[in-house]
Amino acid sequence: MKIALINGSPKHKNSASGILASLVKRLAKEKCECAEIKMNQTEPTAESVAVLRECDAWIIFYPLYVDGVPSHLLSCLKFLENCKETFDIKRIYAVSNCGFHDGQQCEWSLEVISHWSRHMGFDFCGGIGLGGGGAVPEVYATPAGEAITSNYTKAMKKMIGKVLEQKSFENFYASINLPRFIFKLAAERGWGRSLVKNGKKRSDIGHIPQ
């Protein structure tokens, strides 16, 4: 079995989506062949489309943008619609990660991927919404990273099991392994640091440009 791991983050490096795709590749090693594909532009490359054609299942990893699917990724999906008759039926899985603590925020964007799959004549086989994704690139390589992202790892293992069995699952949601109030404090400290780095004061956090 060959699986496409589609990284739908527009970031060139250090995205939560990319980290999750690499994690799945590591966990699925020796059980199947994985092809990593970047969709960080408004059109997939011809090479990517050729690899997608060879894969039995696609896992689309993407960040939640304004409660939806990022526009460059929608544009790539639209591009694939234009050549949908050149694909066999694929099994589609989706992993959305968001900045808020609650993975449930991703629910409607998973619906978008599910509708698109049906429109393509593909089988949507399940989606996962992950909260606290913005922290993943910050903590992943730290000593505490494994513990903080353990719910993510569990979710990826469950999904890989279903992908390999060629089965579906009901959409489900998980969050980073930190209490919401600590996550919020850490995120606000991060915003404060970004403000200072960009020549503003921490107290400017609520500033509304006129």
- List of residues contacting ligand FMN (CB under 6 A): 9, 11, 15-17, 63-67, 97-100, 105, 133-134
The residue (of 15 and 114) whose beta carbon lies closer to ligand FMN is 15
Report the nearest approach of ligand FMN to the CB of residue 85 (Å): 31
The answer to whether 15 and 63 have CB atoms below 8 angstroms apart is yes
User: For the chain, what is the radius of gyration of the CA atoms?
Assistant: 18
Instruction: Determine the number of helices (DSSP H) and then strands (DSSP E) in the chain.
Output: 8, 6
- 43, HSE (Cβ side, Cα atoms, 13 Å): 6
Structure tokens at 110: 């998973």
Distance (Å, rounded) from C-alpha 74 to C-alpha 64? 12
The residue (of 40 and 114) whose beta carbon lies closer to ligand FMN is 40
Distance (Å, rounded) from C-alpha 20 to C-alpha 166? 20
Report the nearest approach of ligand FMN to the CB of residue 97 (Å): 5
The residue (of 54 and 67) whose beta carbon lies closer to ligand FMN is 67
Structure tokens at 58: 């696609």
The residue (of 6 and 98) whose beta carbon lies closer to ligand FMN is 98
Report the nearest approach of ligand FMN to the CB of residue 134 (Å): 4
Residue found under tokens 């489309």: 49
Report the nearest approach of ligand FMN to the CB of residue 11 (Å): 5
The residue (of 72 and 123) whose beta carbon lies closer to ligand FMN is 72
Report the nearest approach of ligand FMN to the CB of residue 16 (Å): 4
